[in-house]
Chain A
Amino acid sequence: MSKVWRYGDHVDTDVIIPARYLNIADFEELAEHAMEDIDLNFAPNVQKGDIIVAGRNFGCGSSREHAPMVLKVKGVQCIIADSFARIFYRNAINIGLPALEIGKEVEKIEAGDELEVNLTKGEIKIVNKGLVINTKPLPEFVQKIADCGGLINYIKGEK
Chain B
Amino acid sequence: MGMTMTEKILAKHSGRDSVSAGDLLVSQLDLILANDITGPPAIDEFEKIGRSVFDKDRIALVPDHFSPCKDIKSAEMCKRLRDFAREHEITNYFEVGRMGIEHALLPDAGLIAPGEVIIGADSHTCTYGALNALATGVGQSDVGAAMASGTTWFKVPSAIKVELKGKLPKYVKGKDIILTLIGMIGVDGARYQSLEFCGEGISELEMSDRFTICNMAIEAGAKNGIFPVDEKTLAFLKGRVTREFAAVTADADAVYDSEITIELDKLVPVVAYPHLPENVHPVSESTGIVIDQAVIGSCTNGRLEDLAQAAEVLKGKKVHPHVRCIIIPATQEIYQQAMKLGYIDTFIDAGVAVSTPTCGPCLGGYMGILAHGERAVSTTNRNFRGRMGHVDSEVYLASPYVAAASAVMGRIASPEEVIK
**A binding-site residues for B, Cβ under 8 Å:** 10, 12, 14-15, 18-20, 22-25, 37-38, 56-57, 60-66, 83, 85-87, 90-91, 94-95, 139, 141, 150-152, 155-156, 158
B379 is an interface residue with CB less than 8 A from chain A: no
Q: B123-139: which have CB < 8 Å to A?
A: 123, 125, 137-139
Interface contact A85-B148, CB-CB below 8 Å:
no
- In the bound complex, CA of A20 to CA of B368 (Å): 12
Question: Is there an interface contact between B38 and A150, defined as CB atoms closer than 8 Å?
Answer: no
Contact A15 B76 (CB under 8 A): no
Q: How far is the CA of A15 from the CA of B80 in the complex (A)?
A: 26
B382 touches A61 (CB 8 A): yes
Count: A-B pairs, CB below 8 Å = 131
Complex-state Cα separation, A80 to B66, whole angstroms: 33
Q: Pick the residue among A57, A91, A156 that contacts B188 (CB under 8 A).
A: A57
How far apart sit A12 and B395, CA to CA, in the bound complex (Å)? 15
The 10 closest A-B pairs by CB, nearest first: A65-B139, A91-B139, A23-B73, A19-B363, A57-B188, A63-B137, A94-B141, A63-B123, A14-B384, A37-B386
CB distance A24 to B73 under 8 Å? yes
B50's closest neighbor in chain A, by CB?
A156
Is B27 located at the chain interface by the 8 A CB criterion?
Answer: no
Provide the B66-86 mask, 1 if CB < 8 A to any CB of A, else 0: 100011011011001000000
Q: B329 → chain A, closest Cβ, in Å?
A: 21
Question: How distant is the Cα of A23 from the Cα of B191 in the complex, in angstroms?
Answer: 29
A42 CB, min distance to chain B CBs, angstroms: 14
Interface-side segment among B40-48, B92-100, B304-312: B40-48
Q: Are A87 and B66 in contact (CB under 8 A)?
A: no
Establish whether residues A152 and B49, one from each chain, have CB atoms under 8 Å apart when the complex forms.
Answer: yes
In angstroms, Cα B120 to Cα A66, docked, is 15
Q: How far is the CA of A39 from the CA of B142 in the complex (A)?
A: 29
Verify if B364 is at the interface (C-beta below 8 Å from A).
Answer: yes
Decide yes or no whether B282 CB sits under 8 A from chain A: no
11 pairs, CB–CB < 8 Å, chain A vs chain B = A14-B363, A14-B387, A23-B66, A37-B385, A60-B188, A63-B137, A83-B191, A86-B191, A91-B139, A151-B142, A152-B45
Report the separation of the CA atoms of residues A86 and B189 in the bound assembly, to the nearest whole angstrom. 12
Q: Indicate if the CB atoms of A156 and B48 lie closer than 8 Å.
A: yes
A59 to B70, CA, bound (A): 27
Structural contact, A60 and B187, CB atoms closer than 8 A = yes
B41 touches A15 (CB 8 A): no
Is B365 interfacial (CB 8 A cutoff)? yes
**Within the complex, which residue of B49, B145, B188, B382 is in contact with A56, where a contact is CB–CB below 8 Å?**
B188
Can you name 6 extra interface pairs (CB under 8 A) apart from A20-B386, A86-B221? A14-B363, A25-B77, A62-B122, A85-B191, A86-B192, A91-B139
Looking across the interface, which residue of chain A has its beta carbon closest to that of B382? A61
- Tell me which residues across on chain B come within 8 A of A83, comparing CB atoms: 188, 191
- Determine if A66 and B41 form an interchain contact, defined as CB atoms under 8 angstroms apart: yes
Contact between chains at B148 and A155 (CB < 8 Å):
yes
**How far in angstroms is the closest Cβ of chain B from A102?**
15
Partner of B364, one of A18, A38, A95, A139: A18
- Residues of A within 8 Å of B141, CB to CB, are 65, 91, 94-95, 150-152
Give A57 to B188 CA distance when docked, in angstroms: 6
Contact A65 B41 (CB under 8 A): yes
Tell me which residues across on chain B come within 8 A of A63, comparing CB atoms.
Answer: 38, 120-123, 125, 137-139
Residue of B nearest to A57 (CB): B188
Chain A proximity of B193: nearest CB distance (Å): 9
Interface membership of B271, Cβ < 8 A = no
Q: Which chain B residues border A151 with CB–CB below 8 Å?
A: 141-142, 145
Do B37 and A64 have beta carbons less than 8 Å apart?
yes
Question: Is the CB–CB distance between B221 and A12 below 8 Å?
Answer: no
Closest CB of chain B to A17's CB: distance in Å? 11
In the bound complex, residues from chain A placing their C-beta under 8 Å from that of B123 are: 61-63, 87
